[in-house]
């Protein structure tokens, strides 16, 4: 969506403003506020577009400082009409994610809180805990983010003991199940000993736990147990009985009991220090706390801004859950700016009435107070962590004599085993916090680096050259350039990087240092002696965390490459022999040894293997003396 540029703000052109407002219909839809450069400032939704947009320009309408500043910059207004308010709500959410307007309330993409993911997009779905919510598969479901990661892992471990679930991403053996199948932890997914339909039925029961529907699941299992017993399937009935008993233990151990109630409700509250807001959402099902979710957003300074933050959290959260997870009541600390629209949408999604409640006394008010206390505690923990990071950045700036605090720091490391599978890592800390969305891997392409010959200096020079080259995928703009570059190593590694940056005329753009492992010493370019620091200084500790993260990231990628190479078949080395033909060969001959002993004529008997390819396969396993000499020389 592009908003037309206009050199003068509309608030300074009353006639043009009124003309533009008259062009906006009184229908549901989404509106866009643009500035003089045509950039989108704000995206909103409304039941009646003209009425909502006009409210921004009324003198009698009170605005927060943020919205008042935005109104002064609006140079044009565009809109998209939708059939219903629900469509407007969904469209607004998608457009905000796409354009990230400056004046919209944007939730922080925090990696602290984990999610539970069920990969419904796969034939045999997996269930696992993750801190990254990948939205590239629409069928996959994410539950969370959960504040208490310890309880979440306990819950998942117990669920994996109650229900037989897929345990591995890849099968351990090709032709038989692993030990998990023998002990009843896995239904034999890798060998397809259970149909996808039957396995999905099991996983749907697991999903009910994370949807807060444990009481409904308990009733379902009880009915299945009684039916199995009636049908004289006593072993199946005993298995379901054990699942019911374990599920009761899960409810007892993992949930916090609240006053007896049968209503499904959520309670939400926010705590803010003006810089950042911590939001807590408590999920209450049948009188029990079944989930505690956490979110972060920019700071708020008024009740109106608090309502905007809560509205954004609720919209984002309920758009990502199934209809059965929407509660019948939502307890709020203040009114929402577009609460009626959200309420109508939730009611239509759930199929039954959803009530917003602003309690003032008794049990619901006490519940809301508990949520507010937890939000305040979470904010205090965040403030302490932020203060710790600021202290470390200030100390690092003092150590390196920097004029300003280094906002973006990049760390680089090399990993290999005697030159084999050489790789590099690039990790990024922003404001002292790992920003994993900017991490990168590099495969070293230098032909001189191979088995038996390693060169960390050349590897680092290659990586830095690729990272900061003027064009290519590795650099979109200098806006993502770091304030500080840290190299894992000593003076030699630092000199190799400095040489490359000097040749690229970029050395004056960054501060470059290296951190030696042995004594945690910091080296600067051109200095023979390390800086006078102590290993336990906050700034040095920050560099150590960066160095350790770069090392971990590089080693994990190196192991991945080494494992991938070890799994490669010798048939991969034959030009023109793809994966499907490899399968046909192995299905026909049963083993690599039989393929090696086969003649050209026998190889041609395999479907898809023509005379030329059959000859190529035969020549690969029966090289001439000249080819053998060449191959030996290459390996040396």
Beta carbons within 8 Å of 599's beta carbon, 6+ residues apart: 618
Residue 391 lies in a domain: no
Q: What is the mean pLDDT of residues 36-58?
A: 88
Q: Which of 67, 99, 131 is the last residue of a domain?
A: 99
* Proportion of the chain above pLDDT 90, given as a percent: 21
pLDDT of 450 above 90: no
Residue 397 lies in a domain: no
What is the pLDDT at residue 256?
47
Q: Which two tokens stand for residue 43?
A: 């995206």
Q: What is the mean pLDDT of residues 20-26?
A: 90
What is the pLDDT at residue 627?
46
What is the pLDDT at residue 108?
62
Which among 321, 346, 314 has a CA at the least distance from the CA of 208?
A: 321
* CA–CA distance, 152 with 150 (Å, rounded to integer): 5
Residue 424 lies in a domain: yes
Q: 327, 266 in Cβ contact below 8 A?
A: yes
Q: State how far the alpha carbon of 223 is from the alpha carbons of 209, 226, 227, 241, 324, in Å.
A: 17, 5, 6, 11, 20
Residue 2 lies in a domain: no
Same domain membership, residue 172 and residue 64: no
Residue 187 lies in a domain: yes
Same domain membership, residue 418 and residue 548: yes
Q: Which of 44, 65, 99 is the last residue of a domain?
A: 99
3-state SS assignment for residue 213: coil
What is the pLDDT at residue 426?
94
Q: What is the mean pLDDT of residues 191-208?
A: 89
pLDDT of 424 above 90: yes
Q: Which two tokens stand for residue 164?
A: 């037989």
What is the rounded radius of gyration, in angstroms, for the C-alpha atoms of the chain?
A: 31
* CA–CA distance, 411 with 389 (Å, rounded to integer): 17
Q: What is the mean pLDDT of residues 11-38?
A: 88
Same domain membership, residue 435 and residue 294: no
Q: What is the DSSP string of 32-90?
A: EEE-TTS-EEEEEEESSHHHHHHHTT-TTS---HHHHHHHTT--EEEEEE-SSHHHHHH
Same domain membership, residue 208 and residue 220: no
pLDDT of 66 above 50: yes
φ/ψ of residue 451, rounded to 5: -60, 125
Same domain membership, residue 553 and residue 593: no
* 61 vs 574 pLDDT, higher one: 574
Q: Which two tokens stand for residue 93?
A: 């959410």
Name the H helices within 255-280: none
Q: Which two tokens stand for residue 286?
A: 């049948």
Pick the range with the lowest mean pLDDT from 21-35, 100-114, 223-237, 406-420. Answer: 100-114
What is the pLDDT at residue 526?
86
Partners of 515 in beta bridges: 488, 522
3-state SS assignment for residue 338: coil
What is the pLDDT at residue 626?
47
Q: What is the CATH number of the domain that holds 286?
A: 3.30.420
pTM value? 0.60
**Distance linking the first and last C-alpha atoms of the chain:** 58
pLDDT band at 197 (very low <50, low <70, confident <90, very high): very high
pLDDT of 427 above 90: yes
Partners of 425 in beta bridges: 413, 441
Same domain membership, residue 585 and residue 535: no
pLDDT of 54 above 80: yes
Residue 301 lies in a domain: yes
Q: What is the CATH number of the domain that holds 17?
A: 3.40.1440.10
Q: What is the mean pLDDT of residues 478-487?
A: 84
What is the pLDDT at residue 471?
56
Name the H helices within 211-285: 214-230, 234-254
* CA–CA distance, 614 with 599 (Å, rounded to integer): 9
Beta carbons within 8 Å of 181's beta carbon, 6+ residues apart: 187, 188, 193
pLDDT of 135 above 70: no
Q: What is the mean pLDDT of residues 199-218?
A: 83
Same domain membership, residue 555 and residue 439: yes
Q: 91, 80 in Cβ contact below 8 A?
A: yes
Same domain membership, residue 84 and residue 116: no
Q: Which of 561, 582, 602 is the last residue of a domain?
A: 561
Q: 125, 97 in Cβ contact below 8 A?
A: no
Same domain membership, residue 553 and residue 455: yes
* 235 vs 109 pLDDT, higher one: 235
Pick the range with the lowest mean pLDDT from 21-30, 172-181, 460-469, 564-573. Answer: 564-573
Q: What is the mean pLDDT of residues 466-490?
A: 74
Residue 402 lies in a domain: no
Give per-residue pLDDT as tens, 252-291. 444 444 555 567 889 999 999 888 889 999 888 777 777 8
Q: What share of the chain is helix, strand, coil (3-state, %, to 5)?
A: 45, 20, 35
pLDDT of 446 above 90: no
The residue whose two tokens read 């949408």 is: 345
pLDDT of 250 above 70: no
Same domain membership, residue 551 and residue 413: yes
Q: Which two tokens stand for residue 283?
A: 């999920």
What is the pLDDT at residue 268?
93
What is the pLDDT at residue 542?
93
**Domain range for residue 241?**
214-254
Q: 164, 186 in Cβ contact below 8 A?
A: yes
Q: What is the mean pLDDT of residues 124-135?
A: 83
* 53 vs 298 pLDDT, higher one: 53
pLDDT band at 569 (very low <50, low <70, confident <90, very high): low
- Domains of the chain: total: 6
pLDDT of 430 above 70: yes
Mean pLDDT over the full length of the chain: 83
Same domain membership, residue 421 and residue 334: no
Q: What is the CATH number of the domain that holds 529?
A: 3.30.420.340
Give per-residue pLDDT as tens, 379-419. 888 888 888 889 999 999 999 999 899 999 999 999 988 88
Is the bond into 145 cis (omega within 30 degrees of 0)? Answer: yes
Q: What is the mean pLDDT of residues 101-126?
A: 79
What is the pLDDT at residue 543?
94
What is the pLDDT at residue 632?
37
Partners of 486 in beta bridges: 411, 513
Number of residues that this document lists for the chain: 636
Residue 475 lies in a domain: yes
Q: 522, 543 in Cβ contact below 8 A?
A: yes
Same domain membership, residue 577 and residue 536: no
Q: What is the mean pLDDT of residues 178-200?
A: 88
* CA–CA distance, 267 with 371 (Å, rounded to integer): 7
Q: State how far the alpha carbon of 321 is from the alpha carbons of 177, 181, 470, 551, 570, in Å.
A: 34, 32, 44, 38, 47
What is the pLDDT at residue 60?
73
Q: What is the CATH number of the domain that holds 599?
A: 1.10.150.20
């Amino acid at each position: 969506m592009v908003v037309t540029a206009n050199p003068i703000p509309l608030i300074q052109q009353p006639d043009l403003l009124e003309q533009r407002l008259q062009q906006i219909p009184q229908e549901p839809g989404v509106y866009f506020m643009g500035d003089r450069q045509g950039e989108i400032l704000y995206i909103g939704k409304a039941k009646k577009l003209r009425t909502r947009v006009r409210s921004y320009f009324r003198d009698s309408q009170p605005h927060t400082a943020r919205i008042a500043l935005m109104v002064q910059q609006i140079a044009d207004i565009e809109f998209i009409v939708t059939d219903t308010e629900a469509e407007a709500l969904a469209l607004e959410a998608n457009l905000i994610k796409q354009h990230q307007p400056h004046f919209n309330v944007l939730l922080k993409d925090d990696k602290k809180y984990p999610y539970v993911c069920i990969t419904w997009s796969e034939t045999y779905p997996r269930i696992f805990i993750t801190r990254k919510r990948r939205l590239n598969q629409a069928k996959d479901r994410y539950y969370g983010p959960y504040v208490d990661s310890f309880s979440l892992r306990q819950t998942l471990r117990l669920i994996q003991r109650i229900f037989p679930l897929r345990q591995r991403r890849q099968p351990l053996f090709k032709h038989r199940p692993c030990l998990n199948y023998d002990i009843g932890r896995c239904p034999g997914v890798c060998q397809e000993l259970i149909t996808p339909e039957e396995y999905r039925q099991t996983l749907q029961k697991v999903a009910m736990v994370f949807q807060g529907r444990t009481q409904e699941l308990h009733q379902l299992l009880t009915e299945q147990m009684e039916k199995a017993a009636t049908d004289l399937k006593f072993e199946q009935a005993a298995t379901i009985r054990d699942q019911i008993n374990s599920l009761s233990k899960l409810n007892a151990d993992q949930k916090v009991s609240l006053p007896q109630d049968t209503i499904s409700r959520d309670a939400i509250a926010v705590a803010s220090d003006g810089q950042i807001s911590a939001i807590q959402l408590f999920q209450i099902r049948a009188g029990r706390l079944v989930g505690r979710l956490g979110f972060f957003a920019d700071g708020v300074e008024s009740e109106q801004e608090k309502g905007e933050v809560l509205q954004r959290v609720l919209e984002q959260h309920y758009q990502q859950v199934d209809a059965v997870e929407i509660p019948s009541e939502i307890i709020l600390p203040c009114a929402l700016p577009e609460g009626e629209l959200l309420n109508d949408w939730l009611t239509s999604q759930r199929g039954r009435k959803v009530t917003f409640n602003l309690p003032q006394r008794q049990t619901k008010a006490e519940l809301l107070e508990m949520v507010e206390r937890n939000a305040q505690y979470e904010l205090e923990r965040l403030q302490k962590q932020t203060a710790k990071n600021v202290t470390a950045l200030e100390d690092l700036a003092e150590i390196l004599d920097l004029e300003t605090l280094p906002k973006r720091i990049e760390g680089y490391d090399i990993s290999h085993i005697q030159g084999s599978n050489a790789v590099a890592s690039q990790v990024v800390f922003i404001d002292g916090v790992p920003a994993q969305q900017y991490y990168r891997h590099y495969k070293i392409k230098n032909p001189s680096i191979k088995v038996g010959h390693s060169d960390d200096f050349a590897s680092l020079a290659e990586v830095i050259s690729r990272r900061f080259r003027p064009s290519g995928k590795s650099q979109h703009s200098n806006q993502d350039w770091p304030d500080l570059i840290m190299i894992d190593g000593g003076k030699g590694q630092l000199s190799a990087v400095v040489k490359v940056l000097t040749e690229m005329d970029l050395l004056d753009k960054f501060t470059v240092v290296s951190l030696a492992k042995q004594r945690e010493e910091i080296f600067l370019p051109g200095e023979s002696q390390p800086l006078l620091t102590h290993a336990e200084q906050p700034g040095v500790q920050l560099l150590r965390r960066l160095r350790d993260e770069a090392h971990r990231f590089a080693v994990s990628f190196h192991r991945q490459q080494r494992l991938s190479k070890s799994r490669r078949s010798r048939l991969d080395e034959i030009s023109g022999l793809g994966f499907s033909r490899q399968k046909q060969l192995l299905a026909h001959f049963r083993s690599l040894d039989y393929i090696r002993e086969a003649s050209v004529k026998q190889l041609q008997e395999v479907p898809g293997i023509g005379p030329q390819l059959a000859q190529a396969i035969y020549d690969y396993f029966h090289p001439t003396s000249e080819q053998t000499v060449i191959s030996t020389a290459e390996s040396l």
